[in-house]
Amino acid sequence: METAGLPGYSGRMKALCIAAAVLTAAEGMAMTSTGTTATATFAGGCFWCIEEIFRQTPGVTKVVSGYTGGQKANPTYKQVCSGNTGHAEAVQITYDPAKVSYEKLLNVFWHSHDPTQLNRQGADVGTQYRSAIFTHSEEQKKAAEGSKAALNASGERGGPVVTVIEPAAKFYPAEDYHQEYYANNREQPYCRNVIQPKLKKLGLQE
């Protein structure tokens, strides 16, 4: 096999690096040892709820709860809850496009919360609970806009969809105790009274 310093090595490595960079920029994807993965970021109220829904979605390999869309660097949960950081509670998803499409994830997103509620989800009120899609590529932007338009046209949700669509910004993972919150706290009142009914409605494991 060729190694550094031998004929063809530098050119071949340069070509591979360029190809990887183009793929990442154009599709919002990254190469891993097992294949190609892509990233999607959604906000739909309390991240505890939508995290579990996406965690159970086939083709999704990782879900991280966190904060994005605001101005403050490295925000804490308390700071985001104040509503003064501009950030939304959100989830960043790593998925296998060969197993689940971005369009399928959009469909899960629309049914994981009420996209007609402005800056709130139920009793959770504030811009930090806004409905938002943060796109990682032009393709995701077009898909999100088309999906939102179709949902509005269908009248399925009984009112105008207020979800904002904007380019993905810096994503800050939330504190460790927020990760896989439902899986680790099923007996907590919020989990029993808010998250479990959502899972049951969607036919997911409670």
Number of other CB atoms surrounding residue 151 within 10 Å? 19
Q: What is the largest CA-CA distance in the chain?
A: 66
Please state at what angle helix 9-27 crosses helix 138-154, rounded to 10 degrees. 20
Whole-number Å distance between alpha carbons of 78 and 81? 5
Q: Which of 17, 46, 49, 191 is catalytic?
A: 46
Q: Which residues contact 53 (CB under 8 A, 6 or more apart)?
A: 108, 112, 198, 199, 202, 204
What are the angstrom distances between the C-alpha of 9 and each of 5, 21, 23, 39?
7, 18, 21, 31
46 is catalytic: yes
Catalytic residue list = 46
